[in-house]
C-alpha cells in the first residue's frame, strides 16, 4: 500500500488530488455535534494543501436515498473544515456535475474544495458494478490522484471508496495508514493479556467478531444491550430488556467454546434497571435501581451494568497489555445510565497497555463523557470497519489501495 508520504515525496504541486474522507458527522438541527471525523482527516488535507495540491475533499453523510436531500448536505462539514484549516474552502453543490467542475477548475495550488454528499448520486452505493463504475468515471474526471483517508467507509464497496481508487494513481492518507497500523497490533503480534470489551445494543452485530476473538483474546468483557442475550442464555430472568431470541443458541455455543479454549467471558454481576427506556432528549431523572444480575424483576429493563460490575471490569483490565473496546456498556447518552461506560473508559486510561477505542458509539461516549481523547492509545474513526477487520474480512477500500 503506497502512502501519502510517498506521494508528497513525488510532489503534488498543481495536481488535483481527490481525498476520500469520512465527514459523516452527527448533526442536530443543522449543527455539528461532534467534529472528530473532520479533525481526523485534517493532517492529510493540510499536508496536501501545504505542498501545493489542489485538494478535492469528498465524503458521504447519513443515508440519503441516491438523490439530493438538504438534510444531509455536507455544507456544515465544509464550513467546519474551513474553520479548522484557517482558510476558505470552496463548496460545490453537486457531486460530479457543473458545480463540482467549476469548484475544482477555480482552485489554485494550495486551495481546498468540498463536493456535495456522494450519496446524493445513486451510483455511489449501487450494487451494480457498471453503475458504480460510471459514477467513479465522473469523479475521476475531477482529479489526477486519489488519496483514500475515509477509514469509516473502507468496509463498503462504494464507487468513491473502491472503484475510483482503481481508476487513478492511489495512496493511503495519514488516517488510514494509522488505523491499519493499529489494527495490525490487534491481530498480528499481540501483547498479552489481550482484553476486549464489547457492548452496544445487538449481539448479532458482534457475533462474527466474538467468533474470531474466542481464538485470540484472553478475556471478553460483555456489556450494553447485547449482554442480556448472554444472561438469558445462562438462564437468568432479564425482564423487558433487549434480547435477541434467535441468537440464544449461538451465544450458548460461544460460552461453551470459551470455557474449552480458556477464554474468560466476563458478564455483569449487577445491572441498573428502570421500568422503560429513558427519554434521551429530556434527560430527566428516571429513578433507576441497581439489582443483582441474576435477580432482575420481570417488569424492569436493564439499561447499564451496575457499579460492582464496573469495578469487576476495571479489575479485568488492570493488567491488560492490549485492549480493544467497541460499544458502550449502557445507555450512556442519559446520565442515569452512563456510569458503566465511564468505568470502562476510565479503566482503559488506567491500563498500562495499548488501548484502542473502536469508533462509533464508543468514540462518541469518550467525547460526550468528557475524557481526554489523547490519553487513549488510539480512537478509531470507524467502528464497523474496525470490527470487520478483526473478523478477518477483506475490506474493499483497503484492497483497492493495496493493488
DSSP per-residue string spanning 58-81 = E---S---SS--GGG-SHHHHHHH
Rounded Cα distance between 310 and 329, Å, is: 9
What was the pLDDT predicted at 225? 94
Residue 28: CB atoms within 10 Å: 8
Binding site listing for substrate: 22-24, 37, 60-63, 119, 156
- Give me the residue label for grid cell 481526554: 372
- Gap between the Cα atoms of 165 and 402, Å rounded: 10
- Binding site as annotated, residues for ATP: 206, 302, 333, 359-362
pLDDT number for residue 114: 98
The C-alpha atoms of residue 254 and residue 251 are separated, in whole angstroms, by 5
CA-to-CA distance for 278 and 367, rounded, in angstroms?
21
The catalytically annotated residue of 46, 202, 216, 367 is 202
363 and 152 Cβ atoms separated by less than 8 Å: no
Nearest to 161 by CA among 172, 170, 153: 153
Indicate the annotated binding residues. 22-24, 37, 60-63, 119, 156, 206, 302, 333, 359-362
- pLDDT at residue number 367: 87
**Residue 329 contacts residue 361 (beta carbons within 8 Å):** no
Within 13 Å and on the Cβ side, how many CA atoms surround 234?
Answer: 15
Active site includes 384?
A: yes
Q: In tens digits, what is the pLDDT along the chain, a chain of 403 residues? A: 999 999 999 999 999 999 999 999 989 888 998 898 999 999 999 999 999 999 999 999 999 999 999 999 999 999 999 999 999 999 999 999 999 999 999 999 999 999 999 999 999 999 999 999 999 999 999 999 999 999 999 999 999 999 999 999 999 999 999 999 999 999 888 999 999 999 988 888 898 899 999 989 999 999 999 999 999 999 999 999 999 999 999 999 999 999 999 999 999 999 999 999 999 888 888 989 999 999 999 999 999 999 999 999 999 999 999 999 999 999 999 999 999 999 999 999 999 999 999 877 888 899 889 999 889 999 988 888 998 998 889 999 999 999 8
Q: Please state, in angstroms and rounded to a whole number, the distance separating the CA atoms of residues 78 and 162.
A: 23
Name the catalytic one among 224, 306, 327, 360. 360
Q: Has 232 been annotated as catalytic?
A: no
The reply to whether 185 belongs to the active site is no
Burial of 207 (0-12, 13-18, 19+ CB in 10 A): middle
Q: Specify the pLDDT at position 30.
A: 87
Which of the residues 15, 20, 37, 54 is marked catalytic?
A: 37
Which pLDDT value is given to residue 382? 85
In the residue annotation, 281 being an active-site residue is answered as no
Residue 364: predicted pLDDT: 86
Q: Which of 200, 330, 353, 384 is catalytic?
A: 384
Nearest-angstrom CA–CA distance, 195 and 316? 8
Give the pLDDT of residue 384: 87
Rounded CA-CA distance 16/108 in Å is 10
- State the cell numbers at 219: 478475556
Amino acid at each position: 500500500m503506497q502512502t501519502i508520504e510517498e506521494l508528497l515525496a513525488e510532489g503534488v504541486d498543481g495536481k488535483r488530488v481527490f481525498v476520500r474522507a469520512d465527514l459523516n458527522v452527527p448533526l442536530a438541527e443543522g449543527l455539528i455535534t461532534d467534529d472528530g471525523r473532520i479533525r481526523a482527516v485534517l493532517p492529510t488535507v493540510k499536508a496536501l494543501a501545504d505542498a501545493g495540491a489542489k485538494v478535492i475533499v469528498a465524503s458521504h453523510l447519513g443515508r440519503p436515498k441516491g438523490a439530493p436531500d438538504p438534510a444531509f448536505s455536507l455544507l456544515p462539514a465544509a464550513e467546519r473544515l474551513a474553520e479548522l484549516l484557517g482558510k476558505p474552502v470552496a463548496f460545490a453543490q453537486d457531486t460530479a456535475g457543473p458545480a463540482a467542475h467549476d469548484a475544482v477548475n477555480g482552485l489554485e495550488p494550495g486551495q481546498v474544495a468540498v463536493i456535495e454528499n456522494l450519496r446524493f448520486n445513486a451510483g455511489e452505493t449501487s450494487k451494480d458494478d457498471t453503475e458504480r463504475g460510471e459514477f467513479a468515471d465522473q469523479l475521476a474526471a475531477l482529479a489526477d490522484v486519489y488519496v483514500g483517508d475515509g477509514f469509516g467507509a473502507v468496509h463498503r464497496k462504494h464507487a468513491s471508496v473502491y472503484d475510483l481508487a482503481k481508476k487513478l494513481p492511489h495512496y493511503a492518507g495519514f488516517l488510514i495508514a494509522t488505523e491499519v497500523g493499529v489494527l495490525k497490533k490487534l491481530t498480528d503480534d499481540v501483547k498479552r493479556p489481550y482484553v476486549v470489551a464489547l457492548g452496544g445494543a445487538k449481539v448479532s452485530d458482534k457475533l462474527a467478531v466474538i467468533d474470531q476473538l474466542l481464538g485470540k483474546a484472553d478475556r471478553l468483557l460483555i456489556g450494553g444491550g447485547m449482554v442480556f442475550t448472554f444472561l438469558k442464555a445462562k438462564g437468568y430472568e432479564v425482564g423487558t430488556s433487549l434480547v435477541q431470541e434467535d441468537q440464544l443458541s449461538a451465544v450458548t455455543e460461544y460460552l461453551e467454546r470459551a470455557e474449552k479454549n480458556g477464554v474468560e467471558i466476563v458478564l455483569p454481576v449487577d445491572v441498573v434497571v428502570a421500568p422503560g427506556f429513558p427519554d434521551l432528549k429530556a434527560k430527566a431523572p428516571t429513578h433507576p435501581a441497581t439489582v443483582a444480575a441474576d435477580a432482575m424483576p420481570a417488569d424492569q429493563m436493564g439499561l447499564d451494568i451496575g457499579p460492582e460490575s464496573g469495578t469487576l471490569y476495571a479489575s479485568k483490565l488492570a493488567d491488560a497489555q492490549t485492549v480493544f473496546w467497541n460499544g458502550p456498556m449502557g445507555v450512556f447518552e442519559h446520565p442515569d445510565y452512563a456510569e458503566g461506560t465511564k468505568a470502562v473508559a476510565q479503566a482503559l486510561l488506567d491500563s498500562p497497555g495499548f488501548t484502542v477505542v473502536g469508533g462509533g458509539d464508543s468514540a462518541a461516549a469518550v467525547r460526550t463523557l468528557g475524557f481526554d481523547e489523547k490519553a487513549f492509545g488510539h480512537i478509531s474513526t470507524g467502528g464497523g470497519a474496525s470490527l470487520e477487520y478483526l473478523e478477518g474480512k477483506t475490506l474493499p477500500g483497503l484492497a483497492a489501495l493495496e493493488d
